[in-house]
Homo-oligomer: A and B are copies of this chain.
């Protein structure tokens, strides 16, 4: 008699094969703080010592429908990096340094090569951010996901000294709003972007995107940036009053998350130029400019609020991606006012 479990669509042997191949990728992200072995039920991470009053900061997220672009391009080794960087930015904005990361991959049918590629991206992102990939689950769920598709979820845990938590509470009118540049959509607005590019304009991932020298696939799969080195670089030189990761909801919904009562942000949209993909989407998608700012990051991956006395320091620091000034904190009720929009 044949085993019946495989017949029901779940292949334990294929899962075990993939597990073996990813073991090395995963353990390559481990330092001496990691006390676990691959195969442990839970991941073990020795709490760093030397902190006076440590606070754990955690976040969970997915890659969203950017995954659909990865499926179309059959390119699976970048979405893991997107996820790691996205999650790290989410705890970074509260001042936390990442400690470890866990992933969840769910698919209808497990293809070991695809899983290995996904984990390659995850482990690259973790290594580059000094974060241990400490746990993961690969779930084969027949009838849940279409053939060749998967979902990818990540959770990061970091730590910050309690008195160094960044929460925006010291922001006052007169402070400056700076932006670190994104390199594209990062991980937000893909449902709308795909509708415009693929359904309405009939493009494929291998077509060149007008206004760029890159293919649509390359532009859409550009890896979400981690701003960890940028924030570390600032931390020594100036006082970071608030940081906002510009994700779903754009500048309009993410900046208010860090504004204290009595403050608003006035953003002058004429001070920078968004990457060409945003212009393309606005024009060919016939999207109102205000909505562009609600759906997309519009070229801003992270917002940083500093006292105006730090304008010179932040502007002359040493960064991979140089920040630019986009506005000012004004009196108001935790809203964002966009200047330069008709």
Interface residues of chain A, those whose CB is within 8 Å of chain B, are 1, 3-5, 7-10, 12, 35, 39-47, 51, 53-62, 64-65, 67-68, 90-91, 93-94, 96, 99-100, 102-104, 106, 134-137, 139, 141-145, 149, 151, 153, 155, 157-159, 162, 165, 189, 191-192, 195, 244-245, 248-249, 257, 285-288, 291, 294-295
Instruction: State whether B58 touches A43 (Cβ < 8 A).
Output: yes
Instruction: State whether A191 touches B8 (Cβ < 8 A).
Output: yes
Known: A4-B192, A5-B295, A41-B59. A153 touches B104 (CB 8 A): yes
Nearest-CB distance from A158 to chain B (Å)? 8
Nearest-CB distance from A76 to chain B (Å)? 16
Instruction: State whether B134 touches A58 (Cβ < 8 A).
Output: yes
Interface of A is mostly: mixed
User: How many chain copies does the complex carry?
Assistant: 2
Residues of B within 8 A of A54 (CB): 46-47
Known: A58-B102, A155-B155, A192-B4. A143 touches B68 (CB 8 A): yes
Complex Cα distance A86/B12, Å? 20
Known: A58-B134, A106-B151. A46 touches B53 (CB 8 A): yes
Instruction: State whether A143 touches B257 (Cβ < 8 A).
Output: no
